[in-house]
Every structure is written in structure tokens, then in C-alpha cells.
Structure 1
């Protein structure tokens, strides 16, 4: 291969990488959607008529988020996590995808989790003791 062919291939590679980088900057919602979920493994799922609350645990942290049964337009949703002995942490508002995530440091303490979509709600009681 002569030096001109090498330069053309190198220029093509740089152009492809630059285009991929620009696409990542132009579409930040996709990256945010992937980063807005809980880490760890799912340890509990509380289902109710209009949605479900997903509970994740990673180390001493517990994370929860509420998802609607039917995604679409913005609707009133909430998610709450409380480690025993601490105040509850809540995320509530009008969301289209999910409420949360909400993360608390629970250590080895029990947690109480709740969530709602519309007028229907669910609460777990003390779990993960």
C-alpha cells in the first residue's frame, strides 16, 4: 500500500470517530436515560394496578424507582425509600418514563419502599432486614 492509501484510510477512520463523538453529544437524552436507572441487582418488585416499584441493592445502598404500566404522556408518579431510623427520601412529580431513582444508604438496616402512579399507591412495610 502506498502512503496516499494509508492517509486516506486514516482520514476515513478519524472522520468516523469524529462523527460518532458528535452524535453522542447531539443525543444526550439517550445517555441520560441509560444512566438514570439504579445500579446493583433487583431484589424486590412491588406490582400494583397502575405500575410497579423496582428495588435494587448494591453494597449497603438501596435504590428504587417507580415505572408506570403504560408509558407515554406525563403522569403523576412518586417513589419513596426510607432506611429504618432515617427520614424517607422521595421523588414525586409528573414524569413520562419513571419516578426516581432514589438511593439511600441502609447498611444492614431494614428499609420501607413505596410508590404511586396516578391515584394508586403501594407500600412495602419493612423489608430487606
Structure 2
């Protein structure tokens, strides 16, 4: 029982770089805005996105969404300290629309990655 507790405490922590790596594929685009950035990855017809805060710390409203043309958006929205997401959609060869926000500032694209 004590050993299990030590394993949990001694385990690795997830950083923003590690969280983004769960997307896989290649980095397709970085969308910068005043309070953060939204990073997009493509892999075999899938598009994955993560929104990172410029400064980690106190919990604040963050969101990320990706929408493949013709489908509904996939959204992660909440109060986070470092990042929102990742969210993934199957886009195939269709365009996607992306939104990301940290606090009151945000970024939004038209149809991209066509």
C-alpha cells in the first residue's frame, strides 16, 4: 500500500509539451493570440488541437474546438491551469475550422487545412 503511494508520487508529471504529444502526427499550424496559442496537428486524416495558456498558474477559462466541414465541432471547455484539449476530429481531406481561447482573448479561423 505504501509502495503504491510512492509510485504515484514519484511518477512523471504531464507538461504542456507532453500533453501535445498525445496528438501525434506533424504540427500543421500554430495560431497565436494575446493570452496563448492553439496548436494543430495532422495525422492520417485526423486533426488534433490543443490550446495553451501563455502563462500557467491559476485556473481560468480555456477552450479549444475543431470542426470538420459538414460535422459538428468537438470542444473541450473548462477552467484549466495550463491547456485545454487535446480534441481530435476525422477530417479526411475536408477543411477544418478551429477556435481557441484563454480568458477573454481568443483566436478563430475560417476553413483551413483544405
Q: Tell me if TM exceeds 0.5.
A: yes
From the superposition, tell whether residues 115 and 31 of structure 1 become closer, same or farther in structure 2 (CA, over 3 Å). Answer: closer
Task: Quote the Cα distance in structure 2 between the aligned partners of 1:32 and 1:47.
Answer: 19
* Native 8 Å contact 2:16 2:83 kept in 1: no
Instruction: Describe how 1:98-117 pairs up with structure 2 within 5 A.
Output: 98-117=83-102
Deviations 1:57-101, CA, capped at 9 Å, x for gaps: 011100001001111111110000000000001000000110000
Could you say which structure has the greater relative contact order, defined with CA pairs below 8 angstroms and 6 or more residues apart?
A: 2
What is the TM-score with the length of structure 1 in the denominator? 0.75
CA RMSD of aligned residues (A): 2.4
Task: Quote the Cα distance in structure 2 between the aligned partners of 1:35 and 1:49.
Answer: 23
Partner of residue 36, structure 1: 19
Deviation at 1:30, TM superposition (A): 2.1
Q: Which has the larger radius of gyration?
A: 1
From the superposition, tell whether residues 64 and 118 of structure 1 become closer, same or farther in structure 2 (CA, over 3 Å). Answer: same
Task: Quote the Cα distance in structure 2 between the aligned partners of 1:43 and 1:125.
Answer: 15
Instruction: Describe how 1:17-56 pairs up with structure 2 within 5 A.
Output: 25-28=8-11, 30=13, 36-37=19-20, 38-56=23-41
Q: Which moved more, 1:27-36 or 1:88-97?
A: 27-36
Unaligned runs of 5+ in 2: none
What is the TM-score with the length of structure 2 in the denominator? 0.85
Partner of residue 10, structure 1: none
